[in-house]
Amino acid sequence: LRLLPFDPWIITKPGIATFQIPAKGEGLKYIVDPDSLTADTNGLITLDTTDFHNNEHLYYIRVTDQFDNVVDAPLLIELNVNDGTRPVIAPIGRHTVKVGDEFKYRVLVENQEGVTFESESVLFDIDSETGVFSFTPEPHDRGIHSVRIIATNEFGSTWQRFIIEVEK
């Protein structure tokens, strides 16, 4: 029994999406937890985007073979569907900043009117109206930080995750 490495399942288009569990072996059985998603007898997971909110969803996959060998793996589903009415965030990319140097950034969206911004970053607070954030890293901030920005308008929210690396 072998479960091949796989990346997060990124879904950006509305409708039905599928993910094939990359398992190799004989007589395989699949379990997905939580059970709001299931895999068929061939290891295919089907998701209807109307049943889920835009967010990061963490599931666990368990594959068992005919000899009762078991392999478990996390499946991160990044659901960020936009039907054209929600904010479209311009790519933010990866940023590197040094301890003691101020870092300032403005999150850009294509349709700015009525958009508010939020983030749960431990590094900074974001201005909810302008999308501007800034901070000056301290020595204890060193390392790689995965940051998620959420943009919301009257139709809903979209988000983008990016990396800030703080160096000495």
How big is the chain, counted in residues?
168
Q: How far apart are CA 131 and CA 167, in angstroms?
A: 24
Q: What integer pLDDT is reported at residue 165 of this predicted model?
A: 97
For domain 2-79, give the CATH number: 2.60.40.10
Virtual torsion, Cα 58, 156, 132, 148, nearest 10 deg: 0
Amino acid present at 148: R
Per the structure block, which two tokens stand in for 45? Answer: 């997971």
Query: Taking 90 as the threshold, does the pLDDT of residue 21 lie above it?
Result: yes
User: Which residue spans of the chain are classified as CATH 2.60.40.10?
Assistant: 2-79, 95-167
What pLDDT shows up at residue 112? 82
pTM of the model: 0.75
Q: How far is the C-alpha of 108 from the C-alpha of 100, rounded, in Å?
A: 25
In the chain, the amino acid numbered 128 is S
Query: Would you identify the CATH topology of the domain 95-167?
Result: Immunoglobulin-like (2.60.40)
How far apart, in whole angstroms, are the C-alpha atoms of residue 92 and residue 133?
13
Q: What is the pLDDT of residues 66-115, one digit of tens each?
A: 999 999 999 999 999 988 889 999 999 999 999 999 999 999 998 788 99
Pairing label, strands 95-98, 156-167? parallel
Mean pLDDT over all residues of the chain?
95
